[in-house]
Every structure is written in structure tokens, then in C-alpha cells.
Amino acid sequence: FACLCQWACDRAPPAMEEYEKLYRLGSGGQGKILKVRHRRTGLEYACKMILCRDNHEMNFALREIKMLMDLRHTHIIGYKDFFIHRDRYEDLYVCLVMELCEHGDLSEKIRDAKRKHVKFSEARIIKWALQMCSALKHIHGHDILHRDLKPTNVFFTAQDDVKIGDFGLSTAISATGRRTIVGTPYYFAPELMLQQKYNSKVDLWGLGIIVMELCTLKERPINSQVLNNPQVVDEIATEILRYGFSRELATVTKELLDKRPECRPTASEFLVRFASTPSDVSKGPALLPLCDLCQDRPAKFRCPSCEDEAFCELCDAQQHRAGGKRAKHQRNSLHQVEGAVLCDGCMEGPPVVRCPECDQEQYCLKCDQTRHRNPKRQGHVRHPLPGLPLPAAP
């Protein structure tokens, strides 16, 4: 790193002068991140200033830069420049000028979804997961590990695409595996917690944690739980299914969170697995509401008399039980209010028919057959939804 360090030092004085500091974007244990503007071009960037107490820490920071300068990918934060800077207090900083993503990170998206009691559509989750996997495949192809993949290190563009950033804990992959324990403890893979050798599968574990949180909107110490009981991933898969997501997404999340690294899919395998997933996520609802009371099950009704809160079927029955003060409240089908296209019966699959004699409710094939199996309803005339043929019973 001697030549790299000397090059950075030689050009440090003019480099800092090339940028106008606008304001601080954030700070952490490694230093701070500023929004800056290039004086000559007027272009705006993020400048990560890594505080270095000695030459050893400066070399560690420069090692990050050396690897990052070789990474060029659509879903990886782009790095433009770097230099060494001493401020007026004689503090030493290694500065990285990088692409600016002003549309938040994944942790903010998850927090916002929790606050609004809504969840992400499966198409959107898979889209982001595929983009992250594409970036991981590129990173691993350069023999680099990220080692700290988590929601706060996944950033958004204006087009709702993701970019992986913050490679401060990245490292070159050793043929015999790594042993250095770094990263965020909450997102540690089991092999990191056991201080075992590890490889690129630690990044796939991080992807599994992210997908789990996107599906369930819950944080949980899954790493320690998996070490105590490897079957806990079955509970995760069941929970994902209960939220209305596909079995394929539940299964791949379970595999990503496998205690055994060799059983987790690689980034390439994940990409192949979901290669046929439609890229157009604008069709269908982007967000699906959760019950305002239990904040767990999908909501089915909205009650204007209860401060416009939305309830799942169970909580609605409790809130509006017969004989109670709220029994006469008029509730609306949430699907009519929100415009979500889901079956009124199971609230999971898309509806294919509407039954005027069942309060205009819409049903998927399975729920339609179940509901109209009753002799009293067998004579109901159902109408296929626009653009969908009336399915024949199997």
C-alpha cells in the first residue's frame, strides 16, 4: 500500500479543495459522511471521511479503496475519487468520494412499512433480492466478501432500484477461508458466531436476513436461534407463507438461513432460480395492509367509526362482537377501499370471479369452489373478472 498511500498524500491538498462541503449525511464509528459538490462540474456526491488514528488504520482504509476501485456494477455504489485529508485539528482522514443515493436505505423502507402497518409485495421483494444477488455475484467474482450486508448498507435510487454500499468491512477471499470476526453482531452468520472459517456464504446469510425482514417486518436474533435449534427456520418459512407469500420465496429464505453454509444457495444459483420472475412490479398492489390491532395478520376490513382503522378477520370479530358497543359499526371491505387485488376469502391469491349474491365479493378458484359447495349457494351466478376467463372446476 506504500505507493497507493504516497499517491494519495501527494494529491491531497488540491483534492479537498475541489469539493464544496454541503452538509452531513450521517456519522458512525468509522467517521462521517458528507454531501459535497464538485466545484468545477457542479455534480453532487457523498464523501465518506474515515478517521484514522495511525498508519495502520490508514492502510486498512486504503485497502478498502483499492478493492472498490475495481468494482463497477449497476447495483453497487460507484466510487469516483479518494484522497487523504488533515483537518484543522490535525485529524487524519481517508476520504472516499462516491455516488450519492438520496432516496434512503432499506432500513428506512422497513421502518416506514412498520409505521404504516403495511407490507411489501412479493414482486418488489424478489426484484430487490435479485439486484442484491447480481451485485454479490460480481463482488464474489472479484474474490471479495462484503461481510456486513444488512438493510442500512442497501441504498435506493430514484427508480426504486437498490445498490449495495459500505464495503468498510470487505475483504479478499482466501482459498482456505477467513477467520477474522467483523460485521454487525445482529447479522452475524452462525459460522462467524462459532469463530469458524467462512467464505462467500456469509453474504448469502445476510441476504436471507434481509429477505426475512422484508417479508415479516420483524427483527429477530435468528443467528443465535438457529444455533440453539436449526429447525427454527421452518417456523420462519411457515410465517412467510402465512403472510401470503409464495412457497418458493419461503423455501429460498429457509435455505439462505440454513445453519450449514454449504446448504445455502450461491448468488448465481439464486439468480437462476428466479430468472423467470417478471421484472414489472408496477402491476398489482405495491403494499399490502396489516391489521392495525395485532399488527400481524393481513387486514380485511376498515371501520370508519373506529378512527378508520383496519382489522384482520379475527380482530374485527373481537372489536365488533355481537351485543357490544361497536356491533353496529359499518365496516368496508379493505380491498374496495385500498384497491388491492386479492381474494376476499383467503386474502392471498388473486381473485378470478365475483359473486353478486355474496355481497359482490371476489374469490380465487379455490375459495370460490369452497364457498359455493354449499347447496344454498350452488345456484349463484358468478362473473369472471375483466380479462379473466371463468375457470373450470378441476
Which residues are identified as catalytic?
A: 148
Q: Determine the Cα–Cα distance for residues 209 and 207; give it in Å rounded to an integer.
A: 5
* Sheet (strand 332-333) strand order: 309-311, 301-303, 332-333
CB-based burial label for 375 (10 Å; 0-12, 13-18, 19+): exposed
CB-CB contact of 209 with 222 (8 Å):
yes
Q: Determine the Cα–Cα distance for residues 7 and 80; give it in Å rounded to an integer.
A: 16
CB-CB contact of 337 with 304 (8 Å):
no
CB-CB contact of 93 with 87 (8 Å):
yes
Return the C-alpha torsion angle 210, 211, 212, 217, nearest 10.
80
Return the C-alpha torsion angle 181, 185, 187, 189, nearest 10.
40
36: Cβ contacts below 8 Å, ≥ 6 apart: 19, 20, 21, 22, 44, 45, 46, 47, 97
Q: Determine the Cα–Cα distance for residues 181 and 193; give it in Å rounded to an integer.
A: 8
